Copies of this chain bind each other. A is one copy, B any other.
Protein backbone atom coordinates (compact mmCIF):
# COMPACT_ATOMS: atom_id res chain seq x y z
CA UNK A 1 0.00 0.00 0.00
CA UNK A 2 1.21 3.52 -0.58
CA UNK A 3 2.77 5.11 2.47
CA UNK A 4 1.73 8.73 3.06
CA UNK A 5 3.82 10.97 5.29
CA UNK A 6 2.03 14.26 4.64
CA UNK A 7 1.06 16.39 7.63
CA UNK A 8 -2.14 15.73 9.54
CA UNK A 9 -3.64 18.92 8.12
CA UNK A 10 -2.92 17.84 4.54
CA UNK A 11 -4.32 14.38 5.16
CA UNK A 12 -7.48 15.74 6.82
CA UNK A 13 -8.04 17.97 3.78
CA UNK A 14 -7.91 14.87 1.54
CA UNK A 15 -10.50 13.04 3.64
CA UNK A 16 -12.95 15.95 3.50
CA UNK A 17 -13.15 15.67 -0.27
CA UNK A 18 -14.97 12.34 -0.20
CA UNK A 19 -18.68 12.70 -0.93
CA UNK A 20 -21.46 10.27 -1.71
CA UNK A 21 -22.79 10.36 -5.27
CA UNK A 22 -26.42 11.20 -5.94
CA UNK A 23 -28.56 8.44 -7.42
CA UNK A 24 -27.98 7.84 -11.14
CA UNK A 25 -31.04 9.22 -13.00
CA UNK A 26 -30.90 6.48 -15.66
CA UNK A 27 -30.90 3.69 -13.09
CA UNK A 28 -33.65 5.54 -11.25
CA UNK A 29 -35.77 5.59 -14.39
CA UNK A 30 -35.40 1.81 -14.80
CA UNK A 31 -36.16 1.21 -11.14
CA UNK A 32 -39.18 3.55 -11.21
CA UNK A 33 -40.72 1.46 -14.02
CA UNK A 34 -40.13 -1.74 -12.03
CA UNK A 35 -41.67 -0.28 -8.87
CA UNK A 36 -44.74 0.99 -10.72
CA UNK A 37 -45.21 -2.33 -12.48
CA UNK A 38 -45.04 -4.26 -9.19
CA UNK A 39 -47.46 -1.77 -7.59
CA UNK A 40 -49.94 -2.33 -10.40
CA UNK A 41 -49.47 -5.98 -11.29
CA UNK A 42 -48.17 -7.60 -8.11
CA UNK A 43 -47.10 -11.22 -8.37
CA UNK A 44 -47.49 -11.27 -12.15
CA UNK A 45 -44.86 -8.52 -12.46
CA UNK A 46 -42.57 -10.35 -10.02
CA UNK A 47 -42.83 -13.55 -12.10
CA UNK A 48 -41.97 -11.68 -15.30
CA UNK A 49 -38.92 -10.03 -13.75
CA UNK A 50 -37.62 -13.23 -12.17
CA UNK A 51 -37.84 -14.97 -15.52
CA UNK A 52 -36.15 -12.04 -17.27
CA UNK A 53 -33.40 -11.19 -14.74
CA UNK A 54 -32.75 -14.50 -12.97
CA UNK A 55 -33.92 -16.93 -15.69
CA UNK A 56 -36.09 -18.74 -13.17
CA UNK A 57 -39.74 -19.57 -13.69
CA UNK A 58 -41.61 -19.57 -10.40
CA UNK A 59 -45.16 -20.55 -9.52
CA UNK A 60 -44.82 -19.95 -5.81
CA UNK A 61 -42.28 -17.51 -4.34
CA UNK A 62 -42.45 -18.93 -0.85
CA UNK A 63 -39.74 -21.44 0.08
CA UNK A 64 -41.54 -24.40 1.70
CA UNK A 65 -40.92 -24.88 5.40
CA UNK A 66 -39.85 -28.49 4.66
CA UNK A 67 -36.99 -27.20 2.48
CA UNK A 68 -35.85 -24.86 5.27
CA UNK A 69 -36.00 -27.64 7.86
CA UNK A 70 -34.07 -29.91 5.53
CA UNK A 71 -31.37 -27.29 5.03
CA UNK A 72 -30.71 -27.26 8.79
CA UNK A 73 -30.41 -31.07 8.80
CA UNK A 74 -28.12 -30.96 5.78
CA UNK A 75 -25.35 -28.73 7.20
CA UNK A 76 -22.47 -30.38 9.09
CA UNK A 77 -22.26 -30.63 12.87
CA UNK A 78 -19.37 -28.15 13.18
CA UNK A 79 -21.30 -25.52 11.25
CA UNK A 80 -24.39 -26.10 13.40
CA UNK A 81 -22.27 -25.67 16.51
CA UNK A 82 -20.59 -22.50 15.18
CA UNK A 83 -23.94 -20.98 14.22
CA UNK A 84 -25.35 -21.86 17.66
CA UNK A 85 -22.40 -20.23 19.48
CA UNK A 86 -22.76 -17.15 17.27
CA UNK A 87 -26.49 -17.00 18.02
CA UNK A 88 -25.86 -17.25 21.79
CA UNK A 89 -23.32 -14.42 21.76
CA UNK A 90 -25.29 -12.19 19.37
CA UNK A 91 -28.35 -12.68 21.56
CA UNK A 92 -26.61 -11.87 24.84
CA UNK A 93 -25.07 -8.71 23.35
CA UNK A 94 -28.23 -7.42 21.70
CA UNK A 95 -30.49 -8.10 24.68
CA UNK A 96 -28.60 -5.23 26.33
CA UNK A 97 -30.03 -2.90 23.67
CA UNK A 98 -33.62 -3.43 24.76
CA UNK A 99 -35.25 -0.11 25.69
CA UNK A 100 -38.39 -0.28 27.79
CA UNK A 101 -39.34 3.39 27.52
CA UNK A 102 -40.40 5.24 30.65
CA UNK A 103 -43.32 6.41 32.76
CA UNK A 104 -42.88 9.77 34.47
CA UNK A 105 -45.37 10.67 37.22
CA UNK A 106 -43.18 13.22 38.96
CA UNK A 107 -45.39 16.30 38.62
CA UNK A 108 -48.78 16.49 40.44
CA UNK A 109 -51.63 15.23 38.27
CA UNK A 110 -49.45 14.65 35.22
CA UNK A 111 -48.47 11.36 33.61
CA UNK A 112 -45.97 11.48 30.77
CA UNK A 113 -44.33 8.53 29.16
CA UNK A 114 -42.90 6.70 26.23
CA UNK A 115 -43.88 3.25 25.01
CA UNK A 116 -41.44 1.28 22.86
CA UNK A 117 -43.30 -0.83 20.29
CA UNK A 118 -41.78 -3.46 17.96
CA UNK A 119 -42.37 -3.00 14.23
CA UNK A 120 -45.09 -5.42 13.13
CA UNK A 121 -43.52 -6.67 9.88
CA UNK A 122 -39.93 -6.41 8.63
CA UNK A 123 -38.29 -7.51 5.36
CA UNK A 124 -34.68 -8.66 5.10
CA UNK A 125 -33.00 -8.56 1.71
CA UNK A 126 -30.32 -11.23 1.31
CA UNK A 127 -28.24 -11.05 -1.88
CA UNK A 128 -27.80 -14.16 -4.01
CA UNK A 129 -24.70 -16.05 -5.07
CA UNK A 130 -21.48 -15.86 -3.08
CA UNK A 131 -22.63 -12.73 -1.22
CA UNK A 132 -25.34 -14.74 0.60
CA UNK A 133 -23.80 -14.95 4.05
CA UNK A 134 -25.43 -17.04 6.79
CA UNK A 135 -23.70 -14.87 9.39
CA UNK A 136 -25.47 -11.76 8.03
CA UNK A 137 -28.83 -13.50 8.35
CA UNK A 138 -28.12 -14.03 12.06
CA UNK A 139 -26.96 -10.42 12.46
CA UNK A 140 -30.18 -8.92 11.10
CA UNK A 141 -32.75 -11.50 12.18
CA UNK A 142 -31.70 -11.99 15.81
CA UNK A 143 -32.05 -8.30 16.84
CA UNK A 144 -35.41 -8.16 15.02
CA UNK A 145 -36.70 -11.11 16.99
CA UNK A 146 -35.32 -9.72 20.28
CA UNK A 147 -37.17 -6.48 19.51
CA UNK A 148 -40.39 -8.48 19.15
CA UNK A 149 -41.06 -8.18 15.41
CA UNK A 150 -44.08 -10.40 14.78
CA UNK A 151 -43.48 -11.26 11.14
CA UNK A 152 -39.94 -11.30 9.81
CA UNK A 153 -39.71 -12.14 6.13
CA UNK A 154 -36.60 -12.74 4.06
CA UNK A 155 -36.32 -12.23 0.32
CA UNK A 156 -33.44 -13.54 -1.76
CA UNK A 157 -32.96 -13.91 -5.53
CA UNK A 158 -33.78 -17.37 -6.87
CA UNK A 159 -30.67 -19.43 -7.71
CA UNK A 160 -30.42 -22.04 -10.43
CA UNK A 161 -28.95 -24.51 -7.96
CA UNK A 162 -31.36 -23.54 -5.21
CA UNK A 163 -30.81 -21.25 -2.26
CA UNK A 164 -27.63 -21.81 -0.25
CA UNK A 165 -28.59 -24.30 2.53
CA UNK A 166 -26.35 -22.52 5.07
CA UNK A 167 -28.40 -19.35 4.52
CA UNK A 168 -31.68 -21.21 4.99
CA UNK A 169 -30.28 -22.96 8.08
CA UNK A 170 -29.30 -19.59 9.56
CA UNK A 171 -32.79 -18.23 8.77
CA UNK A 172 -34.33 -21.15 10.63
CA UNK A 173 -32.01 -20.79 13.62
CA UNK A 174 -32.65 -17.04 13.85
CA UNK A 175 -36.44 -17.37 13.66
CA UNK A 176 -37.17 -15.90 10.21
CA UNK A 177 -40.89 -16.51 9.60
CA UNK A 178 -41.02 -16.73 5.79
CA UNK A 179 -38.48 -16.90 2.97
CA UNK A 180 -39.41 -15.75 -0.55
CA UNK A 181 -37.39 -16.28 -3.72
CA UNK A 182 -37.46 -12.87 -5.27
CA UNK A 183 -34.61 -10.38 -5.71
CA UNK A 184 -33.60 -7.06 -7.21
CA UNK A 185 -35.61 -3.85 -7.32
CA UNK A 186 -38.78 -5.90 -7.78
CA UNK A 187 -38.28 -7.53 -4.38
CA UNK A 188 -37.92 -4.11 -2.73
CA UNK A 189 -41.10 -2.90 -4.47
CA UNK A 190 -42.96 -6.02 -3.35
CA UNK A 191 -41.95 -5.46 0.29
CA UNK A 192 -42.82 -1.75 0.15
CA UNK A 193 -46.30 -2.13 -1.33
CA UNK A 194 -47.19 -5.78 -0.85
CA UNK A 195 -48.37 -8.23 -3.54
CA UNK A 196 -50.74 -11.21 -3.44
CA UNK A 197 -47.87 -13.36 -2.08
CA UNK A 198 -45.47 -10.94 -0.37
CA UNK A 199 -46.61 -8.98 2.69
CA UNK A 200 -46.21 -5.21 2.87
CA UNK A 201 -43.55 -4.50 5.52
CA UNK A 202 -42.78 -1.57 7.79
CA UNK A 203 -39.02 -1.60 7.23
CA UNK A 204 -36.57 -3.09 4.70
CA UNK A 205 -32.99 -3.95 5.63
CA UNK A 206 -30.10 -5.51 3.81
CA UNK A 207 -27.46 -4.87 1.17
CA UNK A 208 -27.86 -5.30 -2.57
CA UNK A 209 -26.65 -4.15 -5.95
CA UNK A 210 -27.19 -0.64 -7.38
CA UNK A 211 -30.77 -1.48 -8.43
CA UNK A 212 -31.65 -2.71 -4.95
CA UNK A 213 -30.02 0.34 -3.33
CA UNK A 214 -31.80 2.76 -5.69
CA UNK A 215 -35.14 1.05 -5.10
CA UNK A 216 -34.66 1.27 -1.33
CA UNK A 217 -33.95 4.99 -1.55
CA UNK A 218 -37.01 5.53 -3.76
CA UNK A 219 -39.45 3.73 -1.45
CA UNK A 220 -38.07 5.51 1.63
CA UNK A 221 -41.06 7.19 3.28
CA UNK A 222 -43.47 4.48 2.18
CA UNK A 223 -41.43 2.18 4.43
CA UNK A 224 -38.40 2.72 6.63
CA UNK A 225 -35.05 1.55 5.23
CA UNK A 226 -31.59 1.02 6.67
CA UNK A 227 -28.53 2.85 5.38
CA UNK A 228 -27.35 2.21 1.84
CA UNK A 229 -24.31 -0.06 2.20
CA UNK A 230 -21.01 0.72 0.49
CA UNK A 231 -17.79 -1.33 0.20
CA UNK A 232 -16.27 -2.67 3.42
CA UNK A 233 -13.58 -0.69 5.26
CA UNK A 234 -11.06 -1.44 7.95
CA UNK A 235 -8.97 1.17 9.72
CA UNK A 236 -6.14 0.06 11.99
CA UNK A 237 -4.44 2.38 14.46
CA UNK A 238 -1.09 0.94 15.52
CA UNK A 239 2.27 1.88 16.99
CA UNK A 240 5.64 0.10 16.89
CA UNK A 241 4.38 -2.49 19.39
CA UNK A 242 1.94 -3.99 16.87
CA UNK A 243 2.63 -7.29 15.13
CA UNK A 244 3.04 -6.59 11.38
CA UNK A 245 1.91 -10.09 10.43
CA UNK A 246 -1.34 -9.68 12.35
CA UNK A 247 -1.91 -6.15 11.08
CA UNK A 248 -1.43 -7.28 7.46
CA UNK A 249 -3.73 -10.29 7.93
CA UNK A 250 -6.48 -8.12 9.44
CA UNK A 251 -6.20 -5.62 6.56
CA UNK A 252 -6.51 -8.48 4.07
CA UNK A 253 -9.56 -9.88 5.85
CA UNK A 254 -11.50 -6.84 4.65
CA UNK A 255 -9.61 -6.39 1.37
CA UNK A 256 -10.74 -9.85 0.24
CA UNK A 257 -14.42 -8.76 0.32
CA UNK A 258 -14.36 -6.40 -2.63
CA UNK A 259 -11.97 -4.67 -5.04
CA UNK A 260 -13.43 -1.42 -3.71
CA UNK A 261 -12.89 -2.34 -0.02
CA UNK A 262 -10.65 0.15 1.80
CA UNK A 263 -7.91 -1.22 4.07
CA UNK A 264 -6.24 1.64 5.99
CA UNK A 265 -3.38 1.64 8.46
CA UNK A 266 -2.48 4.76 10.42
CA UNK A 267 0.59 4.48 12.55
CA UNK A 268 3.29 6.40 14.36
CA UNK A 269 5.89 3.91 13.10
CA UNK A 270 7.37 4.12 9.60
CA UNK A 271 9.14 0.84 10.42
CA UNK A 272 5.81 -0.89 11.06
CA UNK A 273 4.43 0.59 7.84
CA UNK A 274 7.25 -0.99 5.83
CA UNK A 275 6.99 -4.34 7.61
CA UNK A 276 3.22 -4.47 7.02
CA UNK A 277 3.79 -3.86 3.30
CA UNK A 278 6.25 -6.77 3.18
CA UNK A 279 3.80 -9.01 5.05
CA UNK A 280 0.97 -8.06 2.69
CA UNK A 281 3.02 -9.39 -0.22
CA UNK A 282 3.83 -12.63 1.58
CA UNK A 283 0.23 -13.26 2.59
CA UNK A 284 -1.34 -12.18 -0.70
CA UNK A 285 0.72 -14.78 -2.53
CA UNK A 286 -1.32 -17.66 -1.10
CA UNK A 287 -4.69 -16.01 -0.53
CA UNK A 288 -7.51 -17.69 -2.54
CA UNK A 289 -9.16 -14.31 -3.24
CA UNK A 290 -5.78 -12.74 -4.08
CA UNK A 291 -6.99 -10.84 -7.17
CA UNK A 292 -9.74 -9.05 -5.28
CA UNK A 293 -7.63 -8.36 -2.20
CA UNK A 294 -4.69 -7.11 -4.26
CA UNK A 295 -6.87 -4.64 -6.16
CA UNK A 296 -8.27 -3.35 -2.89
CA UNK A 297 -4.87 -3.02 -1.23
CA UNK A 298 -3.19 -1.39 -4.22
CA UNK A 299 -5.95 0.95 -5.39
CA UNK A 300 -8.02 1.74 -2.30
CA UNK A 301 -5.72 1.14 0.64
CA UNK A 302 -3.05 3.35 2.17
CA UNK A 303 -0.78 3.69 5.17
CA UNK A 304 -0.57 7.07 6.89
CA UNK A 305 2.41 7.79 9.14
CA UNK A 306 1.86 10.57 11.67
CA UNK A 307 3.89 11.77 14.66
CA UNK A 308 1.51 11.25 17.59
CA UNK A 309 -1.17 8.82 18.74
CA UNK A 310 -3.52 11.77 19.05
CA UNK A 311 -2.98 12.51 15.33
CA UNK A 312 -3.87 8.90 14.49
CA UNK A 313 -7.27 9.23 16.17
CA UNK A 314 -7.96 12.61 14.58
CA UNK A 315 -7.34 11.25 11.09
CA UNK A 316 -9.32 8.09 11.77
CA UNK A 317 -12.30 10.04 13.12
CA UNK A 318 -12.34 12.04 9.88
CA UNK A 319 -12.32 8.79 7.86
CA UNK A 320 -15.06 7.27 10.10
CA UNK A 321 -14.24 3.65 9.17
CA UNK A 322 -16.74 0.80 9.31
CA UNK A 323 -14.28 -1.29 11.39
CA UNK A 324 -11.60 0.22 13.63
CA UNK A 325 -8.82 -1.80 15.26
CA UNK A 326 -6.78 -0.15 18.00
CA UNK A 327 -3.47 -2.02 18.10
CA UNK A 328 -1.86 -0.01 20.89
CA UNK A 329 -0.76 -1.09 24.39
CA UNK A 330 -3.62 -0.91 26.93
CA UNK A 331 -6.06 0.03 24.17
CA UNK A 332 -9.21 0.65 26.23
CA UNK A 333 -7.71 3.89 27.52
CA UNK A 334 -8.37 5.35 24.05
CA UNK A 335 -12.13 4.64 23.90
CA UNK A 336 -12.79 8.29 24.75
CA UNK A 337 -10.89 9.39 21.62
CA UNK A 338 -13.22 7.58 19.23
CA UNK A 339 -15.90 9.80 17.68
CA UNK A 340 -16.65 8.01 14.40
CA UNK A 341 -16.40 4.24 13.82
CA UNK A 342 -18.92 1.48 13.23
CA UNK A 343 -17.33 -1.19 15.42
CA UNK A 344 -14.15 -1.05 17.47
CA UNK A 345 -11.68 -3.87 18.12
CA UNK A 346 -9.37 -3.23 21.05
CA UNK A 347 -5.98 -4.93 21.18
CA UNK A 348 -4.26 -7.72 19.35
CA UNK A 349 -6.66 -10.53 20.23
CA UNK A 350 -9.68 -8.67 18.89
CA UNK A 351 -9.00 -9.47 15.24
CA UNK A 352 -11.77 -8.03 13.09
CA UNK A 353 -13.18 -11.41 11.88
CA UNK A 354 -13.91 -12.29 15.52
CA UNK A 355 -16.50 -9.50 15.40
CA UNK A 356 -17.75 -10.63 12.00
CA UNK A 357 -18.83 -13.97 13.34
CA UNK A 358 -18.80 -14.81 16.98
CA UNK A 359 -18.18 -12.03 19.50
CA UNK A 360 -21.78 -10.85 19.46
CA UNK A 361 -21.79 -7.16 18.44
CA UNK A 362 -23.41 -6.60 15.07
CA UNK A 363 -21.41 -6.89 11.85
CA UNK A 364 -23.86 -4.85 9.74
CA UNK A 365 -22.19 -1.49 10.13
CA UNK A 366 -22.15 2.01 8.64
CA UNK A 367 -19.79 2.25 5.62
CA UNK A 368 -18.33 5.07 3.46
CA UNK A 369 -17.97 7.50 6.33
CA UNK A 370 -21.60 7.19 7.43
CA UNK A 371 -20.38 6.20 10.91
CA UNK A 372 -20.42 10.00 11.34
CA UNK A 373 -24.18 9.71 11.80
CA UNK A 374 -25.30 6.11 11.83
CA UNK A 375 -25.05 3.04 14.04
CA UNK A 376 -24.56 -0.69 13.76
CA UNK A 377 -27.80 -2.63 13.16
CA UNK A 378 -29.37 -3.22 16.55
CA UNK A 379 -32.58 -3.89 18.43
CA UNK A 380 -33.30 -0.13 18.17
CA UNK A 381 -33.73 -0.57 14.38
CA UNK A 382 -36.77 -2.77 14.89
CA UNK A 383 -38.80 -0.63 17.28
CA UNK A 384 -40.47 2.76 17.22
CA UNK A 385 -41.72 4.93 20.05
CA UNK A 386 -45.03 6.45 21.02
CA UNK A 387 -45.35 9.17 23.64
CA UNK A 388 -48.34 9.67 25.88
CA UNK A 389 -49.66 12.24 28.34
CA UNK A 390 -52.55 12.35 30.80
CA UNK A 391 -53.44 15.50 32.79
CA UNK A 392 -55.68 15.94 35.83
CA UNK A 393 -57.89 19.05 35.70
CA UNK A 394 -55.76 20.99 38.21
CA UNK A 395 -52.62 20.29 36.18
CA UNK A 396 -54.26 21.59 33.01
CA UNK A 397 -55.50 24.64 34.91
CA UNK A 398 -51.96 25.57 35.90
CA UNK A 399 -50.46 25.26 32.39
CA UNK A 400 -53.31 26.35 30.11
CA UNK A 401 -52.28 30.00 29.90
CA UNK A 402 -48.89 29.09 28.42
CA UNK A 403 -50.55 26.96 25.74
CA UNK A 404 -52.98 29.69 24.71
CA UNK A 405 -50.23 32.32 24.67
CA UNK A 406 -47.97 30.30 22.39
CA UNK A 407 -50.85 29.23 20.15
CA UNK A 408 -51.94 32.83 19.60
CA UNK A 409 -48.39 34.03 18.96
CA UNK A 410 -48.20 31.38 16.23
CA UNK A 411 -51.53 32.52 14.77
CA UNK A 412 -53.28 29.27 15.64
CA UNK A 413 -56.45 30.47 17.34
CA UNK A 414 -58.11 27.07 16.96
CA UNK A 415 -55.39 25.57 19.17
CA UNK A 416 -56.06 28.12 21.92
CA UNK A 417 -59.82 27.62 21.71
CA UNK A 418 -59.51 23.85 21.97
CA UNK A 419 -57.80 24.28 25.34
CA UNK A 420 -60.44 26.79 26.39
CA UNK A 421 -63.29 24.34 25.79
CA UNK A 422 -62.07 22.79 29.06
CA UNK A 423 -63.74 24.73 31.87
CA UNK A 424 -60.62 24.72 34.06
CA UNK A 425 -58.55 26.30 31.33
CA UNK A 426 -60.36 29.61 31.05
Q: In the assembled complex, how far is the CB of residue A223 from the closest CB belonging to chain B, in whole angstroms?
A: 7
Complex contact A256–B415 (CB within 8 A):
yes
Complex contact A361–B387 (CB within 8 A):
yes
Residue of B nearest to A118 (CB): B339
Complex contact B133–A396 (CB within 8 A):
no
User: Which candidate, A15-23, A51-59, A302-310, is the interface stretch facing chain B?
Assistant: A15-23
Q: For the complex, what is the distance from the CA of A130 to the CA of B340, rounded to whole Å?
A: 38
Q: For the complex, what is the distance from the CA of A133 to the CA of B412, rounded to whole Å?
A: 10
Q: For the complex, what is the distance from the CA of A373 to the CA of B192, rounded to whole Å?
A: 12
Complex contact B243–A202 (CB within 8 A):
no
Residue of B nearest to A390 (CB): B346
Residue from A227, A366, A380, A396 having most chain B Cβ neighbours under 10 A: A396
Contacts A20-B222, A228-B221, A385-B378; A413 near B373 (Cβ below 8 A)? no
How many chain A residues touch B (Cβ–Cβ < 8 Å)?
139
Assess whether A345 is interfacial by the CB under 8 Å rule: yes
Q: For the complex, what is the distance from the CA of A329 to the CA of B288, rounded to whole Å?
A: 69
Assess whether A344 is interfacial by the CB under 8 Å rule: yes
User: Which candidate, A4-12, A61-69, A176-184, A403-411, is the interface stretch facing chain B?
Assistant: A403-411
Q: In the assembled complex, how far is the CB of residue A1 from the closest CB belonging to chain B, in whole angstroms?
A: 15
Contacts A217-B220, A335-B115, A359-B112; A389 near B350 (Cβ below 8 A)? yes
Residue of B nearest to A96 (CB): B102
Complex contact B403–A223 (CB within 8 A):
no
Q: For the complex, what is the distance from the CA of A256 to the CA of B410, rounded to whole Å?
A: 12
Residue of B nearest to A203 (CB): B373
Complex contact A249–B421 (CB within 8 A):
yes
Assess whether A39 is interfacial by the CB under 8 Å rule: yes
Complex contact B114–A97 (CB within 8 A):
yes
Complex contact A399–B349 (CB within 8 A):
no
**List of B residues within 8 angstroms of A313 by Cβ:** none
Residue of B nearest to A287 (CB): B414
Complex contact A362–B387 (CB within 8 A):
yes
Q: For the complex, what is the distance from the CA of A414 to the CA of B134, rounded to whole Å?
A: 17
Residue of B nearest to A352 (CB): B418
Complex contact B376–A418 (CB within 8 A):
no
Complex contact B353–A418 (CB within 8 A):
yes
Residue from A111, A218, A283, A388 having most chain B Cβ neighbours under 10 A: A388
Residue from A99, A219, A349, A361 having most chain B Cβ neighbours under 10 A: A349
Question: C-beta contact mask, A363-381 vs B, less than 8 Å → 1, else 0?
Answer: 0001000111111101010
- Of the A-B pairs whose beta carbons lie under 8 Å apart in the complex, a sample of 12, sorted by A's number, is A82-B409, A99-B99, A344-B386, A345-B388, A346-B390, A349-B422, A350-B389, A350-B396, A357-B415, A358-B403, A371-B384, A380-B385
* Other contacts beyond A22-B35, A346-B390: 13, CB < 8 A: A86-B402, A92-B104, A114-B361, A115-B335, A217-B220, A245-B421, A256-B414, A289-B413, A354-B399, A354-B419, A356-B415, A357-B402, A376-B387
Which residue numbers of A lie inside 8 Å of B, CB to CB? 19-20, 22-23, 25, 28-29, 32, 35-36, 39, 78-79, 81-83, 85-86, 92-93, 96-97, 99, 102, 104, 106, 110-112, 114-115, 117, 119-120, 130, 133-135, 166, 193, 202-203, 217-224, 227-228, 243, 245-246, 249-250, 252-253, 255-257, 283, 287-289, 293, 331-332, 335, 338-362, 366, 370-376, 378, 380, 384-393, 395-396, 399-403, 405-407, 409-419, 421-422, 424
